[in-house]
């Protein structure tokens, strides 16, 4: 298997990196969508994320990676044994790829074909959604995903539960995952329903200034020539981010949001006319994640400003009399309201 380029070695693209880390820190934000030009390191960043995640405690041998502490979201097997003391184990947080051309049975899970054929036995074989439980589900080229798979995803991402009915077998298991998508907007738009499932959306562009372009090429070349040596150098930087993430996770619950900031968030959303409460909620959660990543106890306007564009830009209604991009509109509103 090819090695992943380290997350910390990505030059620039600070918005994208911040959004990915925030979404990884706070699953309730609802994931992140990275859209942008070809060759901007979209999928590199997402794949690099796997190395930054701490391990998680799971019920031993559970196919769905159930959390022994969260009784409410246990799978059928784990909830049977929940009364007794469960054995646990540590597992890396899963980052599961949903490749194009995947068939439904692999995504949702289906009867185990092997057992069905050889033993005539009905056994459920969990799919990618089960594997991604409590972790990340990554879809590269998300706008090219087959329609019927998109339907499935929208449903499961909303309910956090996967229900499979087949051959008289009825399986229901938790499938809470952070949805991460990337794609090139020129190749087709995303269905609005799916777009809505993503908490944050960032646009990435190829950097144009010489210094960072040179740095990118040099690092890429070094990685290619000798990946081992390159990884050794950047492992330390990755470790730093990992530590930041770990301490931010501890901090997150205690980060405070005062009324003034709440008002700021509502004013901003009202000004932009975003639909519903989702925008406001995401904005607050994301701002808190940013504050936690900064190691702060309180969310400030600055945190809000830094994450406002990714949190809101894909929730704006198109304004027929304003031709500027939605990112610019959010930015403009920020400048107008909070100077």
Partner 1 sequence: MPTYWLTCLHVAQLIALAPHEFGGVIVHARSGPVRERWMQALEQLVRHHGLVTPLRKIPSGITDENLLGGLDIEATIISGKPVFRPGLLSHCDHNLVILPMAERLEAGTVARIAAALDHGSIQVERDGHGERIACAMGVIALDESIEEDEVVNPKLMERCAFYLDLDSLAWRDLPDTKLDAEFLDLDPVGIKERVEQITLRDEQYAALIGIAAQLGIESLRAVQFTVRTARYLAAIDFDWQQDEPSQEHLERAVTLVLLPRATQIPDMADETQAEDEPTPEQNEEANSEETQSPNHETDVLEDQVLEAAQAAIPRELLDRLTQLALVRQKNHSVGKAGASQLSNQRGRPMGSKPGMPSGHQRLSLIDTLRAAVPWQRIRQLQFKSSKNQSQPKILIRKDDLRVKRYRQRNQTLTTFVVDASGSAAINRLAEAKGAVELLLAECYVRRDQVALISFRGSEAELLLSPTRSLVRAKRSLASLPGGGGTPLAKAIDTAFALAKGSLKKGMTPTLVFLTDGRANIARDGTPGRTQAQADAEQSAKLASQVKVRSLWIDTSPQAREEGQQIAQLIGSFYLPLPHARAQELSQAVLGVLHT
Residue 260 touches partner 1, criterion: CB under 8 A = no
Residues annotated as catalytic are: 278
Residue 155 touches partner 1, criterion: CB under 8 A = no
Residue 140 touches partner 1, criterion: CB under 8 A = yes
> Which string of x and - marks every residue 57-76 that binds partner 1 (by CB under 8 A)?
--------------------
**H helices of 160-253, where?**
192-197, 210-225, 227-252
The candidate with the shortest Cα–Cα distance to 6, out of 232, 201, 221, is: 232
SS3 of residue 224 by DSSP: helix
Residue 289 touches partner 1, criterion: CB under 8 A = no
CA 26 to chain centre: 9
Smallest gap from residue 267 Cβ to partner 1 (A): 28
Q: What is the distance in angstroms between the CA of the first residue and the CA of the last residue of the chain?
A: 50
Query: DSSP code of 52?
Result: G
Pull the structure tokens for residue 116: 């069905």
Q: Which residue's entry shows tokens 């706070």?
A: 26
Question: Which residue lies nearer to partner 1 by CB, 39 or 69?
Answer: 39
Stretch that binds partner 1, among 173-181, 215-223, 250-258, 267-275 (CB under 8 A): 215-223
Residue 228 touches partner 1, criterion: CB under 8 A = no
Residue 250 touches partner 1, criterion: CB under 8 A = no
Question: Which are the contacts of 217, defined by CB distance < 8 A and separation ≥ 6?
Answer: none
Q: Using CA atoms, how far apart are residues 47 and 286, in angstroms rounded to an integer?
A: 21
Residue 120 touches partner 1, criterion: CB under 8 A = yes
> Which string of x and - marks every residue 161-200 that binds partner 1 (by CB under 8 A)?
-----xxx---------------x-xxx------------
Stretch that binds partner 1, among 14-22, 77-85, 141-149, 227-235 (CB under 8 A): 141-149
The candidate with the shortest Cα–Cα distance to 236, out of 7, 15, 1, 47, is: 7
Q: What is the CA radius of gyration of the chain?
A: 21
Pull the structure tokens for residue 173: 């298991």
- List interacting residues with partner 1 (CB under 8 A): 1-2, 37-39, 43, 97-107, 110-114, 116-122, 125, 128, 140-141, 144, 146-148, 166-168, 184, 186-188, 206, 208, 210, 213-214, 216-218, 220-221, 224-226, 320-321, 323
């Amino acid at each position: 298997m090819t090695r992943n380029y380290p997350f910390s070695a990505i030059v620039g693209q600070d918005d994208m990196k911040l959004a990915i880390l925030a979404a990884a820190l706070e699953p309730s934000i609802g994931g992140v969508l990275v859209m942008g030009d070809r060759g901007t390191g979209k999928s590199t960043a997402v794949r690099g994320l796997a190395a930054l995640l701490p391990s998680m405690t799971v019920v031993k041998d559970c196919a769905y990676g159930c959390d022994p502490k969260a009784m409410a979201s246990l799978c059928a097997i784990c909830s049977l044994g929940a009364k007794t003391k469960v054995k646990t184990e540590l597992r890396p947080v899963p980052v599961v790829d949903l490749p194009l051309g995947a068939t439904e049975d692999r995504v949702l899970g289906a009867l185990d074909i092997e057992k069905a054929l050889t033993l005539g036995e009905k056994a459920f074989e969990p799919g990618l959604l089960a594997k991604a439980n409590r972790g990340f589900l990554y879809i590269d080229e998300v706008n090219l995903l087959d329609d019927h798979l998109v339907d499935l995803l929208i449903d499961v991402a909303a309910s956090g539960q996967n229900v499979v009915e087949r051959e008289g077998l009825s399986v229901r298991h938790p499938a809470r995952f952070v949805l991460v998508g990337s794609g090139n907007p020129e190749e087709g738009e995303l269905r609005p329903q799916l777009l809505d499932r993503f908490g944050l959306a960032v646009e990435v562009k190829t950097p144009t200034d010489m210094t960072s372009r040179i740095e990118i090429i040099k690092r890429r070349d070094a990685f290619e020539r000798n990946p081992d040596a390159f990884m050794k150098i950047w492992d330390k930087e990755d470790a730093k981010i990992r530590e930041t993430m770990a301490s931010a996770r501890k901090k997150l619950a205690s980060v405070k949001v005062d009324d003034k900031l709440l008002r700021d968030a509502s004013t901003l959303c009202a000004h932009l006319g975003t639909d519903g409460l989702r925008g406001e909620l995401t904005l607050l959660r994301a701002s808190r994640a940013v504050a936690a990543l900064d190691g702060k106890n309180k969310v400030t306007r600055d945190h809000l400003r830094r994450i406002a564009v990714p949190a809101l830009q894909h929730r704006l209604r198109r304004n027929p009399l304003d031709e500027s991009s939605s990112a610019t509109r959010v930015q403009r509103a920020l400048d107008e309201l909070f100077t």
